[in-house]
Chain A
Amino acid sequence: MEQFLSYANGRYLKVSLFLSVFLSIIYVMHEPGQPKNGGTWFGYTLGTISAVLIIWLMYFGRRKRDYFSTLGTVKGWLSAHVYLGSSLLILATLHTGFQFGLNVHTLAYALMCIAIFSGFYGAWTYVYLPIKKRENLKTISAEEYYLSIEDVDRQIIKLAKDLPESLSLMINSAIERTEIGGNLLEQLSAEDKSCLIYKDELYANVDQSGCIHLLVEELSKVTEQQRAVQLKQIIDLFGRRKKSLKILRYHIKTNVLLKLWLNIHVPVSFALLAALMAHILSVFIYW
């Protein structure tokens, strides 16, 4: 199955390359008799093309939600979006004639660059993270991991019922105080904030190791065969729990990464639109 990057044999990559090269050649060739910037006829042309492209790039947000549209597929649009969006880096830069300063014009340009680079990052996540996600999950789905944890928990609670109270309390607290997800930063860091309570004290339980450690300690002390077997089973179960939790944390993190960048990309795009309007207005009024 083809990717959005290789959509229609890279049709839009070719279009963008052609546009960039062709317009660069004209830029080098043309001698306007004034500084080469947005003020020349060619500057105006480049500016207009860039502005139209930006409007069209933003329109992607609409097309993506126009589910009845028969104008191409969203995949095709994304392919065009990515390549034509990148070509702005050349077209708009040529338009500026490399005249940057501390003004609204350069602000627009800077915002455009942020939009584009965040777009690069986004495209990268779209291509690589799904594969990473799948490798992490191995062959089953995240739902199945959640279910398996529930299942393990049930087994642990059942097994822990007749352990000495301090231990069974500890085990229950370890299960109850297992943290996964949390706020955005916690999701992103994938850090394990789980803890447990043992003899009324709160301990960290990163990767369930606190709990496993206490259980192993207990195991070394027991003499009764049956109790030993029971503890071993619980330890194994916590081991499985730890693995699933780790996988899920990574899964959550990747899911956040896949979405987070859009929270930069889109607001910056709107800011760019505003700055661009200011730029165009100002050049018409003051020039």
Chain B
Amino acid sequence: MTEQYKIVVIGAGPGGISAATHAAELNISHVLLEASPKIANTIQKYQKGKHVMAEPSILPLRSPIAFEAGKREAILDEWQQGLLQNKVNIKYNAAVVNIDGEKGDYKITLADSSVIQAEFIILGIGVQGNPRKLGVTGDDADFVQYTLDNPDDHKNETIVIVGAGDAAIENAVVLASNNKVFIVNRRDEFARAKEGNLNLITAAIDKGDVECCYNTNPHSIELTPEQEKPGIFVLKTASGEIKIPVDRIIARLGAIPPRALVESFGIEFPNSDPNSIPVLSAKYESNVPGIYVIGALGGYPLIKQAMNQGYEVVEYILGNNINPADHPLLENKLEHLPFDLGVDEILSLMQTEIPVFTPLSALTFRELMLDSQVHVFEPNIEIFKKNDYTNSFYTILQGEVNIVIGDRVIKSTQGNFFGEMSLISGRRRSATVLSGESCIVIETPRRTMIKLITSVDAVKRVLDETFITRTIQAKFAPKVTIEELQPIVSKAKLNQYSANEVLFAEGDEANCLHVIRSGSVTVSKKVAGKDIPMTYVAANNVVGEMGILGNTVRSATITATVKTETISIDSDSFNDLLAKSPTLRATMELEVQKRHLENTKLESESETGDILSFLMQQGLGEATDVLLINEDTCVGCDNCETACAATHGGTSRLNRKAGPTFAHVHVPTSCRHCEDPSCMKDCPPDAIHRGGLGGEVFIDDSCIGCGNCERNCPYGVIQMEYPKEKNSSFWNWMFFNAGEQPGENKVKEGDNIKKAVKCDMCKDIDGGAACVRACPTGAANRVSPENFINVVNI
């Protein structure tokens, strides 16, 4: 007899809990299926005692289950209570492996092969995925685990850790101090681990703290309840079987991302981008009727959002057309608009008036508008200035704007967009934009747009085409109309290069030029058989024009320093452009002459080239502003670090000693303010932004301390730190020894959480970068890659 329910909720995360409880509250037959033995697996995995934040704070909570910011344990307790009180029907250890059938009659298969029938399905399985199981007989024993909560709980045990990734290594190393630890590695090296972990584990193995079984696979687990150790782990090595009596087995084999499972249910994703999210209706329904997707899996990365959706989705299933909880927020946002319309009408008006947004689903657009701002401007207000470092995206809902490029003004009208250049290249604004008559514009933050571009192909296409047109017009033919440029634009190509890929090589035939759209390149020449980099060219510049102007072969090799996108224009199109724009040849030739001169100057200095390649190897090609220290003048006083700490609440955001050195150039560990910052990618409250004139990447107060950015930054510059006390005054410290030394503030008492801190380029400090201003010898300097050459060449 299979069980049968109206609503089956899959995944007892915040979204699922809220949905199931609301169903219980309404007396709807339901079950909540949870794969793990406890509720909210994602939150169970937060570090012990973590302070969970309830962002966004302006969003009201709409759920029968309570949720306020607080300790992880307290919140989980409260949820557990809420489930009990509302008599929610929950099944643990019930991982869903398959869904068949259709709306009204779904058959859900669990891992233990039992089947449950459902009319509607709410899918809230989050994005964390499930830990990959050992997959050998006996792996359901209770001494087999997939996480390590508190290493101090284990003493004098024999523990076998399976896996060769960072998690496995970290567990092995901490446990080794109090236990006998083995690590089982399928291969003969730890290839997947981070450099630091690799050193740790090799050291531990060399010292004999951890015993490593290379080229070894788990074979089976035998239970030995009568003996001292509860089990025997049988391993298959290259030379035969070995048996280890164990207290505990910890498998760290990574997680299986949920996408494949979700797709197997028939739910579609717009493209293969790993960050893309399923297409949903405004009522969270997927393309499979009757299956609804909520929470992180549906693209809503915060707890409160997930809980609200849990409530709403049950109402939608019942056919109640309630307004989403974020309705008042939108109402607020749109209040000041001169339209006499309701929120939903305004939203659909926006979608019809603005073609880039037309292809979006209503839900996606709603989400976009929640992040966006709508500005009603008086005429002639500066929306942004040339050389600003902002990177949001603007669409014109009504009226017009004036785009000022040099001495020319271009009008852009209703339905158009602007600001996409900086959005894509991560570089400074290339024009000033002023509001025109009766101007209403929508400003959308970069992260939201990037998410949109990766999930809706139609948007990407429109943006790309416009980008090409505008680039060609701005760079080569400002006086020529868009219509006239059309044939050239349609022949222009968008190219992608990975780091170190060659765009073209010295000696090749010159048949096109490239405008760098994002990323950057180095220009190098062969000197005595060796490629010597001579200069660095950032996004928004042109390369390859020398060859094509002179109709000769390439005089240098161009190599991408990081992932780079260019727009290429072939010789014929370029000749067209030259014909259309009579002054173009002269200006380009001037540019070429300047470059020739620079190149001959650099050619003699091969050390410069070596330093430049060193800087590029350090990933500085994607930097926009980086702290470099000249080792020939640094006296090691660490005043730079102290200055940073003293001006930033007691925690230095730079580590002078760390980081690589080559010749006299040292790259300390400090934020480089990347063009396309990896740290921003996965920040649940979207707390990382790119700022104004300096272009600094900074973290605002809404950080919830999840640590994602710390992990995502490839350069290890983000630290998780407790907030610290304010220091007493200098004179009190000096004369009465009161308080701490400047820059050495005490950690604040009380219940605080570690938050992410990093260099913000002293954006709030008069005078700019404190590290640079505090260096007594002028060794510390902040430089943007365009100026590397000057720094290197002292």
Q: How far is the CB of A24 from chain B (nearest CB, A)?
A: 30
Asked whether B639 is an interface residue with its Cβ less than 8 Å from the other chain, the reply is yes
Evaluate contact between B666 and A141: CB separation under 8 angstroms: yes
Asked whether A158 is an interface residue with its Cβ less than 8 Å from the other chain, the reply is yes
When chains A and B are docked, how far (Å) is the Cα of A69 from the Cα of B767? 8
When chains A and B are docked, how far (Å) is the Cα of A142 from the Cα of B634? 14
Evaluate contact between B766 and A78: CB separation under 8 angstroms: no
Per-position 1/0 for A33-72, Cβ under 8 A of B: 0000000000000000000000000000010111111100
Name the residue of chain A whose CB is nearest to the CB of B790.
A1
Given contact pairs A67-B770, A68-B647, A130-B635, A3 touches B730 in the complex (Cβ within 8 A): no
Name the residue of chain B whose CB is nearest to the CB of A132.
B632
- The residue in A3, A77, A129, A150 that gathers the most chain B C-beta atoms within 10 A of its C-beta is A3
Evaluate contact between B635 and A1: CB separation under 8 angstroms: no
Asked whether B133 is an interface residue with its Cβ less than 8 Å from the other chain, the reply is no
Evaluate contact between B630 and A67: CB separation under 8 angstroms: no
Evaluate contact between B730 and A65: CB separation under 8 angstroms: yes
Name the residue of chain B whose CB is nearest to the CB of A141.
B661
Task: Please indicate the chain A residues that have their CB under 8 angstroms from the CB of B411 in the complex.
Answer: none
- The residue in A69, A70, A130, A140 that gathers the most chain B C-beta atoms within 10 A of its C-beta is A130
Given contact pairs A67-B643, A67-B770, A158-B206, A139 touches B778 in the complex (Cβ within 8 A): no
When chains A and B are docked, how far (Å) is the Cα of A74 from the Cα of B639? 10
Given contact pairs A66-B730, A70-B766, A139-B662, A154 touches B778 in the complex (Cβ within 8 A): no
What size tier do the contact residues of chain B reach?
Answer: 35 or more
When chains A and B are docked, how far (Å) is the Cα of A2 from the Cα of B630? 11
Task: Please indicate the chain B residues that have their CB under 8 angstroms from the CB of A75 in the complex.
Answer: 775-778
Asked whether A244 is an interface residue with its Cβ less than 8 Å from the other chain, the reply is no
Evaluate contact between B778 and A67: CB separation under 8 angstroms: no
Task: Please indicate the chain A residues that have their CB under 8 angstroms from the CB of B199 in the complex.
Answer: 147
Q: How far is the CB of B762 from chain A (nearest CB, A)?
A: 10
For window 85-140 of A, CB contacts with B under 8 Å fall at: 125-126, 129-131, 133-134, 137, 139-140
When chains A and B are docked, how far (Å) is the Cα of A154 from the Cα of B664? 30
Evaluate contact between B774 and A68: CB separation under 8 angstroms: no
- The residue in B637, B643, B658, B661 that gathers the most chain A C-beta atoms within 10 A of its C-beta is B661
When chains A and B are docked, how far (Å) is the Cα of A178 from the Cα of B659? 27
When chains A and B are docked, how far (Å) is the Cα of A62 from the Cα of B734? 9
When chains A and B are docked, how far (Å) is the Cα of A3 from the Cα of B633? 8
- Give the A-B contact count at a CB cut-off of 8 A: 103
Contact of A157 among B206, B766, B774 (CB under 8 A): B206
- The residue in B730, B743, B775, B776 that gathers the most chain A C-beta atoms within 10 A of its C-beta is B776
Asked whether B203 is an interface residue with its Cβ less than 8 Å from the other chain, the reply is yes
Evaluate contact between B662 and A3: CB separation under 8 angstroms: no
Q: How far is the CB of A42 from chain B (nearest CB, A)?
A: 35
Task: Please indicate the chain B residues that have their CB under 8 angstroms from the CB of A78 in the complex.
Answer: 776-777
Asked whether B459 is an interface residue with its Cβ less than 8 Å from the other chain, the reply is no
Evaluate contact between A143 and B730: CB separation under 8 angstroms: no
Evaluate contact between A62 and B730: CB separation under 8 angstroms: yes
Name the residue of chain A whose CB is nearest to the CB of B634.
A130
Evaluate contact between B634 and A4: CB separation under 8 angstroms: no
Q: How far is the CB of B109 from chain A (nearest CB, A)?
A: 52
Asked whether B636 is an interface residue with its Cβ less than 8 Å from the other chain, the reply is yes
Name the residue of chain A whose CB is nearest to the CB of B657.
A143
Q: How far is the CB of A156 from chain B (nearest CB, A)?
A: 11
Given contact pairs A1-B630, A126-B635, A258-B636, A134 touches B664 in the complex (Cβ within 8 A): yes
For window 391-412 of B, CB contacts with A under 8 Å fall at: none
When chains A and B are docked, how far (Å) is the Cα of A78 from the Cα of B646? 20
Given contact pairs A70-B766, A74-B776, A78-B776, A143 touches B658 in the complex (Cβ within 8 A): yes
Asked whether B763 is an interface residue with its Cβ less than 8 Å from the other chain, the reply is no
When chains A and B are docked, how far (Å) is the Cα of A65 from the Cα of B794? 29
Asked whether A20 is an interface residue with its Cβ less than 8 Å from the other chain, the reply is no
Per-position 1/0 for A139-155, Cβ under 8 A of B: 11111000100100010
Given contact pairs A2-B778, A67-B642, A68-B766, A130 touches B203 in the complex (Cβ within 8 A): no
Q: How far is the CB of A73 from chain B (nearest CB, A)?
A: 5
For window 411-435 of B, CB contacts with A under 8 Å fall at: none
When chains A and B are docked, how far (Å) is the Cα of A163 from the Cα of B199? 26
Task: Please indicate the chain B residues that have their CB under 8 angstroms from the CB of A157 in the complex.
Answer: 206
Name the residue of chain B whose CB is nearest to the CB of A134.
B631
Name the residue of chain A whose CB is nearest to the CB of B206.
A154
Given contact pairs A66-B730, A78-B777, A140-B661, A129 touches B206 in the complex (Cβ within 8 A): no
Task: Please indicate the chain A residues that have their CB under 8 angstroms from the CB of B738 in the complex.
Answer: none
Evaluate contact between A68 and B778: CB separation under 8 angstroms: no
- The residue in B202, B203, B636, B777 that gathers the most chain A C-beta atoms within 10 A of its C-beta is B777
Asked whether A168 is an interface residue with its Cβ less than 8 Å from the other chain, the reply is no
Task: Please indicate the chain B residues that have their CB under 8 angstroms from the CB of A140 in the complex.
Answer: 661
Contact of A4 among B659, B662, B742, B778 (CB under 8 A): B778
Per-position 1/0 for B640-682, Cβ under 8 A of A: 0011001100000000011111111010000000000000000
Name the residue of chain A whose CB is nearest to the CB of B767.
A70
Asked whether A255 is an interface residue with its Cβ less than 8 Å from the other chain, the reply is yes
Q: How far is the CB of A76 from chain B (nearest CB, A)?
A: 9
Evaluate contact between B742 and A67: CB separation under 8 angstroms: yes
Closest 8 A-B residue pairs measured CB to CB? A70-B767, A67-B646, A67-B643, A75-B778, A141-B661, A73-B773, A78-B776, A134-B631
Given contacts A1-B778, A2-B778, A147-B199, 4 further A-B contacts (CB under 8 A): A64-B776, A73-B772, A74-B639, A154-B206
- 19 interchain pairs, CB-CB under 8 A: A3-B633, A3-B777, A3-B778, A4-B777, A4-B778, A64-B774, A65-B730, A66-B730, A67-B642, A67-B770, A68-B647, A69-B767, A73-B772, A73-B774, A74-B773, A131-B632, A133-B631, A134-B664, A258-B637
